[in-house]
Amino acid sequence: MKIKKVINNNLVKSINENNEEVLVMGCGLGFKKQIGDDIDEDKIEKIYISKDKETSNKLIKLLEKMPIEYIQTTNEIVSYAKVSLGKKLNDNIYITLTDHISFAVERFKQGILVKNALLWEIKRFYNHEFLIGKEALSIIKKHIGIDLPEDEAGFITLHIVSALMSSSNVFETTEMTKVIQNILNIVKYHFNVELDEHSLHYERFITHLKFFVQRVFSGVEIDDDDKSFLLILKEQYKKEYQCALKIRKYIKNEYGYDLTEDELVYITVHIRRVITK
């Protein structure tokens, strides 16, 4: 590859074999280089490919002023997350996570420690992603020499979860986590029970709620027009259905989203399972 533009000593623009514009990062990659020079492949640490020009421009603005160790930190965290989860992550995480790490380290140096009010919920609802967040703290310490508290693992977890949801952002992920907890509280108070968080039904219920709340935030409805099953549930699982109606009311009041009857069926069934010992 040849250099199309030198952004700074560690970052250049180029064109790959698929004729796509890419950002190529590596320590000293752009040092004393000019347009048309060959890129030293031995120095390449990361190639960013973004089909979204807006994301690409944001990335350039961030990376051109960011110390390389912060960029290397994010690259390693994202690579680790992709392998661990076996899933793709939205490219926007390179921007949001690098920016967050930079801000978190700066706060830490100033003695400002921010408590993560949702840490408990994050550990429960996004256990796999949280373990990646804890590993991220080790990666940060390795590259930057700062030992951040566990609260930051929670914040990093939200960035990872957001990157798994292509239409979501960290604010929405935080709000979604609150909604899931509120729905669980409705179920617990309605039946006056403590839910078994180690049961398979609880795990499935949480998974269902994640996708359900994601639909609420994106405005996507599911409705197969089959009302017969709902009529049966109303009779067989009266208490569970009444609980589902409370959840429907909460979602409607808070977010203006009205659950379809098909969604009421799904939630009623999951409630039945999760409260059955």
**pLDDT category, 117, cuts 50, 70, 90?**
confident
Percentages of the chain per state (helix, strand, coil), in multiples of 5: 60, 10, 30
Convert the pLDDT of each residue in 138-193 to its tens digit: 999 999 999 999 999 999 999 999 888 865 578 888 888 999 999 999 999 999 99
| pTM assigned to the model | 0.76
Burial of residue 151 (number of CB atoms within 10 Å: 0-12, 13-18, 19+)? middle
- pLDDT for the residue numbered 226: 54
**pLDDT category, 271, cuts 50, 70, 90?**
very high
- pLDDT for the residue numbered 229: 61
- pLDDT for the residue numbered 65: 80
Q: Give the H/E segment covering residue 108.
A: helix 93-109
- pLDDT for the residue numbered 169: 75
Q: Which residues make Cβ contacts (< 8 Å) with residue 61, sequence separation at least 6?
A: none
CA atoms within 13 A on the CB side of 114: 15
**For residue 211, pLDDT beyond 70:** yes
- For the chain, percent of residues with pLDDT exceeding 90: 37
In degrees, rounded to 5, the angle at the alpha carbon of residue 156 between the alpha carbons of residues 146 and 137 is: 30
- pLDDT for the residue numbered 187: 96
In degrees, rounded to 5, the angle at the alpha carbon of residue 274 between the alpha carbons of residues 272 and 275 is: 70
**For residue 223, pLDDT beyond 70:** no
Average pLDDT over residues 212-229: 68
- pLDDT for the residue numbered 109: 92
Evaluate whether 129 touches 85 at the Cβ level (below 8 Å): yes
Residues carrying CATH 2.30.24.10, the chain:
1-56
Residues carrying CATH 1.10.1790.10, the chain:
66-164, 184-275
Convert the pLDDT of each residue in 47-94 to its tens digit: 887 666 777 777 778 777 888 899 899 999 999 999 999 998 888 888
**pLDDT category, 242, cuts 50, 70, 90?**
very high
**pLDDT category, 251, cuts 50, 70, 90?**
very high
Which CATH number is associated with domain 66-164? 1.10.1790.10
1-56, superfamily in CATH?
Answer: CAT RNA-binding domain (2.30.24.10)
Higher pLDDT, 16 or 194: 194
Which CATH number is associated with domain 184-275? 1.10.1790.10
Instruction: Choose from 19-33, 206-220, 249-263 the range with maximum mean pLDDT.
Output: 249-263
